[in-house]
Amino acid sequence: MRYARTALLMVALVSTAFCASLSAAQTGKDLEISAAVTEALIRENPIENTHIDVKTFDGVVILGGFVDEYYKMQRIIEIAKGMAGVKSVENRMRIWDRN
């Protein structure tokens, strides 16, 4: 239990740091892309037990956070690449081993 709390705290701290480092100004179009990717990820059923941050700068989607399985990471990247207006996707996600 102690390990789980420590891991969750680490996830929160890393995610906060990631968001802070990407807080440069996003354009309206970039915000729309980020929102569309986030909504698509929410609708995706197999993408549970994940915490993903989505930021977009000049059409480049940056994905950060943690997933519990490799195939989920690949699916998230695939979803982001398929969204209108996305020029490329940069993967900063990590696999979180809950064991």
Q: Which domains does the chain have, with CATH numbers?
A: 2-95 (3.30.1340.30)
pLDDT (0 to 100) of residue 7: 42
pLDDT (0 to 100) of residue 58: 96
Q: How far is CA 89 from CA 21, 80, 83, 93, in A?
A: 17, 7, 10, 11
Cβ-based neighbour number of residue 73 at 10 Å: 21
One-letter amino acid of 21: S
pTM: 0.70
Q: What is the pLDDT of residues 20-76, one digit of tens each?
A: 454 556 789 999 999 999 999 988 876 666 789 999 999 999 999 999 889 999 999
51 touches 15 (CB < 8 A): yes
Q: Is 24 helix (H, G, I), strand (E, B) or coil?
A: coil
pLDDT (0 to 100) of residue 73: 93
Q: What is the pLDDT of residues 1-27, one digit of tens each?
A: 444 444 444 444 445 454 545 455 678
pLDDT (0 to 100) of residue 27: 84
User: Exposed (0-12), middle (13-18) or buried (19+): which is 5, by Cβ within 10 Å?
Assistant: exposed
Token representation of residue 85: 């207006």
